């Protein structure tokens, strides 16, 4: 209640007096004096803040470029359409874009797995209830039988 009375009456009272009697010491103080520093210390502080801001922005741009590289890798891998914003982010970062080592290992492992899946044995291992060792033994036995038959053949 007191707040409402002060708000209503205080605004009208200021209008009547015209703001006489009010002092504005903050307008006379500089930013450096307001923070308790000399002008030179304040300029150094502002310069340090600006350098830190630029460093943060550079790190952020680097991370964005790394993520864009990962996305473009997966787009290539799964044959998806390319995104121009990712390409521009990579170009803006320059040649400094390097994948994190853990991610590079994961990508290399994916490539090895795909290569093994594309081979004949990779396709056979995907079929359930297939014993690879037994299959290899049968293939070797069949090959040896063929060699024996060709040795006994009169045409060869």
Alpha-carbon distance of 120 to 126, in angstroms, equals 10
pLDDT at 149: 81
What SS3 state is found at 97? coil
Chain-centre distance for alpha carbon 52: 21
Domain chopping of the chain, boundaries: 37-122
Q: Which of 76, 75, 69 is nearest to 103 (CA)?
A: 69
Alpha-carbon distance of 70 to 86, in angstroms, equals 10
Kindly list the averaged pLDDT for each block of 10 residues, start to end, along the chain of length 156. 65 63 51 80 93 95 88 84 88 76 80 69 62 80 85 68
pLDDT at 13: 60
pLDDT at 22: 53
């Amino acid at each position: 209640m007191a707040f409402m009375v002060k708000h209503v009456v205080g605004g009208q009272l200021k209008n009547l007096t015209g703001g006489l009697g009010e002092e504005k010491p903050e307008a006379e103080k500089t930013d450096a004096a307001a923070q308790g520093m000399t002008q030179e210390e304040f300029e150094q502080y502002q310069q340090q803040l600006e350098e830190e801001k630029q460093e943060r922005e550079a790190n952020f741009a680097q991370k964005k470029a790394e993520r864009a590289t990962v996305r473009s890798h997966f787009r290539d891998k799964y044959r998806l359409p390319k995104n121009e914003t990712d390409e521009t982010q990579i170009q803006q970062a320059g040649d400094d874009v390097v994948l994190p080592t853990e991610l590079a290992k994961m990508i290399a492992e994916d490539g090895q797995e795909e290569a093994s899946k594309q081979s004949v044995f990779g396709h056979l291992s995907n079929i359930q209830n297939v014993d690879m060792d037994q299959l290899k033994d049968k293939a070797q036995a069949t090959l040896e039988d063929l060699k024996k038959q060709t040795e006994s053949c009169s045409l060869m």
